[in-house]
Amino acid sequence: MADAYRGKAVAYGRTGRAQEGLALIERALSIAPDNALSHGVRSFVMGKMGNYDQALLSINTAISMAPQNPSFYLGRAKLNMKLRKRQQALKDFSRSCTLGNQDACNIVQDIQKRTKRW
């Protein structure tokens, strides 16, 4: 049941209904509080709501539970960019790339190209 709530929460977050998504992911977490993916989705939904500090707390929880998941580092990197923490974001993009996320690798390469131009 927690999986269904999590899936719907993502869909709501993507379609501008983040508040409804938050209610669903909270239900998922009440069923399975130790589910790293649910904490990751909570971070995604909170980010969609513009609550970046709370989103960061949730993604940090997800990372502590599943430190080998490259998507969590990518998510935290994007949050850190929103919070203007560029150095931390670059570290997280790099970590995500090292763990196999090609999108993160592309971002790191783009950052490196821009940096060389200066």
Alpha carbon 22 to its chain's center: 14
| Domain boundary residue, one of 67, 83, 108 | 67
In this structure, the answer to whether residues 63 and 96 fall within a common structural domain is no
Q: Which domain holds residue 27?
A: 1-67
The pLDDT-based confidence of 118 (bands split at 50, 70, 90) is very low
Fill in the amino acid letter for 89. Answer: A
pLDDT for residue 114: 84
Q: Is pLDDT above 90 for 87?
A: yes
In this structure, the answer to whether residues 62 and 104 fall within a common structural domain is no
In this structure, the answer to whether residues 102 and 62 fall within a common structural domain is no
In this structure, the answer to whether residues 96 and 79 fall within a common structural domain is yes
User: What percent of the chain clears pLDDT 90, i.e. is strictly above it?
Assistant: 92
Q: Is pLDDT above 80 for 4?
A: yes
Q: Is pLDDT above 90 for 67?
A: yes
**CA triple 105-90-101, angle to 5 deg:** 25
In this structure, the answer to whether residues 36 and 87 fall within a common structural domain is no
* pTM: predicted TM-score of the whole model, two decimal places: 0.92
Please say whether the beta carbons of 10 and 21 come within 8 A. yes
Closest CA to 14 of 44, 36, 56, 35: 44
